[in-house]
Chain A
Amino acid sequence: MDELSKEKKMDEHESSERIADVFADFHCYFNKEQDLKEEIRSTVRDLEQTAREIHAVLQQVHQRDGSKNVADICKCTEPYFETARKQFQELSSKVPENQYYRFHDHWKYALQKLSFLSALITYLKTEKLVSREETATMLGVKLKQGEGFHMDLDDYLIGLLQMASELSRLAVNSVTAGDFNRPMKIAKFVAELDTGFRLLNLKNDALRKRFDGLKYDLKKVEEVVYDLSIRGLKPKEGI
């Protein structure tokens, strides 16, 4: 009771100082955050540039003779991934510990794109699905949240979905280039991917929206397979 009445007597002056303090503290915090964001943004810009360069190199597989030189094209991208790893290193040094998700929005698109590129390259090389571990290694990021700058599961999965779109395009272009074998493999692969994604219980978020596009990619490659089949162009099983 006594204490309360004492508190009530807190005079006008004290009260306005208190308010001024609160705002000054926040102002300080806010300025620091702005600076940090600016630094992160500049690193992410470099990362996005690297991603675009890799993508440009990989575009060659869609060209007429690209289909045959897949291995060479993939090799060309290796130095770029080296750059990307360095840039991720730089980025992770700028993000304070345990604040990954505070700034996640800044780099998630770059991360999705690079995850897509690593998945595409792995498929072109080995015709297998890139694992999360492999992607993390290729990009030089950590696998698990507790270990440092990591790759969010959603971003990895969105990267896989982007790859499915790219592969459906590749199926069409392979036919144009006279390679009738590749579309068959792609069709099987995309169908497996679709089965995999169907196992997930997705919420109504960005990943779900991206997943909804997968059925069109699947449809596209199935149409290509159909076109080849009815014309008798389908390579025999076992080749």
Chain B
Amino acid sequence: MDGRKKKITRDEEIDESNYIIQQFQKYQKELDSRHDKHERLVKLSRDITIESKRVIFFMQRSSSKNLEMLEQALKKIQDIQQQKFLPMAKELQGEEPHQFLRAYTAGLQEYIEAVAFYHYLRSKTLVSLNEVQVDLTFAVPSSDTENSQEKTICVYVPPSEYMLGLADLTGELMRFAINSVGSGDMDTPNEVCAYLHKMLGGFQSLGQVSREMNRKISTLRQSLQKVEAACYTLQIRGSEIPKHMLQDVFKSVQETSYLEERDLDD
């Protein structure tokens, strides 16, 4: 007991001047600032996830893919870039991109999914990594007072994150194909089906990339199967059943698919 008491008083005496304490005070500052930055990035990433999901839902909802809707969607995507990715790029300025990648990977993937879906609706093609990266590169006034030149900052998009975002896109395409039948569009499922075939072929050619990727590829296979089943039904029964009843046939397919995906997400 006595020894313990003595130790405490000793600690208090040497507190500020103790070498070890001084060292750890430095470490405390460094750790805190890093954790704070991490938290801010996580927050931005969550906002990006939510906004991107909203854009995707918006694009899914508008059954007819008209120009007005696409323009609105583009506007929303640009808003995300300006309001969320710009502050993120500022946070990451001068940092090593991979150090904080884990903080914002979820948001980035969801955003890529939204952008890729937008590009698919607009031109039926795949957005390239370069296009995504260009959108996330910003010019800001240089902080140096001497030269007023602008410098560029960016949120770096690692190719692996881009691929994971694309894998997510396939789930949206499946939903889109099934929905479109409801609005009387009989071509879209076939188009999507061909497109997904190409995507799956591409993903399978990569081989073992990462566990996360494997999980997404197996989801992709399921999505493709659903679209294939839809195309099959259309072919067989399309001529027999009136359109408004076809819609009911596909509704049930879609509901089960939502449930399954939720299970997978957990």
* B23/A201 in contact, CB under 8 A: no
- Beyond A15-B195, A16-B198, A201-B31: 10 further Cβ-contacts under 8 Å? A18-B125, A20-B202, A22-B128, A129-B20, A131-B23, A191-B7, A195-B20, A196-B20, A200-B31, A202-B31
Most chain A beta carbons < 10 A, residue from B20, B166, B202, B206:
B20
A5 to chain B, nearest CB (A): 9
A195-230 interface bits toward B, Cβ cutoff 8 Å, 1 = contact, 0 = none: 111011111000000000000000000000110010
In the complex, which residues of chain B have a beta carbon less than 8 angstroms from the beta carbon of A25? Answer: 129, 159
In the complex, which residues of chain B have a beta carbon less than 8 angstroms from the beta carbon of A21? Answer: 128
**CB neighbors of B among A8-27 (8 A):** 8, 10, 12, 14-16, 18-23, 25-27
Known: A101-B99, A200-B27. A1 touches B67 (CB 8 A): yes
In the complex, which residues of chain A have a beta carbon less than 8 angstroms from the beta carbon of B123? Answer: 7-8, 10
In the complex, which residues of chain B have a beta carbon less than 8 angstroms from the beta carbon of A19? Answer: 125-126, 195, 198-199, 202
Interface residues on A, range: 35 or more
**Contact for B3 among A4, A195, A225, CB less than 8 A:** A225
Known: A29-B159, A153-B31. A8 touches B7 (CB 8 A): no
* A200/B18 in contact, CB under 8 A: no
In the complex, which residues of chain B have a beta carbon less than 8 angstroms from the beta carbon of A99? Answer: 96, 98
Known: A8-B123, A192-B18. A199 touches B28 (CB 8 A): yes
* A4/B125 in contact, CB under 8 A: no
In the complex, which residues of chain B have a beta carbon less than 8 angstroms from the beta carbon of A29? Answer: 159
* A23/B27 in contact, CB under 8 A: no
* B98/A8 in contact, CB under 8 A: no
In the complex, which residues of chain A have a beta carbon less than 8 angstroms from the beta carbon of B61? Answer: none
* A195/B21 in contact, CB under 8 A: yes
In the complex, which residues of chain A have a beta carbon less than 8 angstroms from the beta carbon of B124? Answer: 8, 10, 15
In the complex, which residues of chain B have a beta carbon less than 8 angstroms from the beta carbon of A229? Answer: 3
* B205/A10 in contact, CB under 8 A: no
Question: 5 tightest CB-CB pairs across the interface, nearest first?
Answer: A23-B202, A196-B24, A101-B98, A101-B99, A7-B123
Work out how many contacts link A and B, with CB atoms closer than 8 A.
Answer: 112
**Contact for B96 among A1, A4, A20, A145, CB less than 8 A:** A145
> Complex: how many Å from CA A160 to CA B21?
14
Interface residues on B, range: 35 or more
A104-125 interface bits toward B, Cβ cutoff 8 Å, 1 = contact, 0 = none: 1000000000000000000000
Known: A1-B67, A100-B96, A196-B20. A10 touches B3 (CB 8 A): no
In the complex, which residues of chain B have a beta carbon less than 8 angstroms from the beta carbon of A20? Answer: 198, 202
Q: Does A102 contact B (CB under 8 A)?
A: yes
B40 to chain A, nearest CB (A): 14
Between A and B, 15 residue pairs with Cβ closer than 8 Å are: A4-B70, A7-B123, A22-B129, A22-B202, A23-B205, A26-B159, A26-B162, A30-B160, A98-B97, A102-B98, A129-B23, A145-B96, A195-B20, A200-B31, A225-B3
In the complex, which residues of chain B have a beta carbon less than 8 angstroms from the beta carbon of A157? Answer: 27
In the complex, which residues of chain B have a beta carbon less than 8 angstroms from the beta carbon of A22? Answer: 126, 128-129, 166, 202
> Complex: how many Å from CA A201 to CA B3?
28
**Contact for A98 among B24, B96, B159, B163, CB less than 8 A:** B96
Q: Does A193 contact B (CB under 8 A)?
A: yes
* A30/B128 in contact, CB under 8 A: no
> Complex: how many Å from CA A29 to CA B195?
23
* A201/B98 in contact, CB under 8 A: no
In the complex, which residues of chain A have a beta carbon less than 8 angstroms from the beta carbon of B248? Answer: none
Known: A7-B123, A10-B125, A25-B129. A196 touches B159 (CB 8 A): no
Q: Does A185 contact B (CB under 8 A)?
A: no
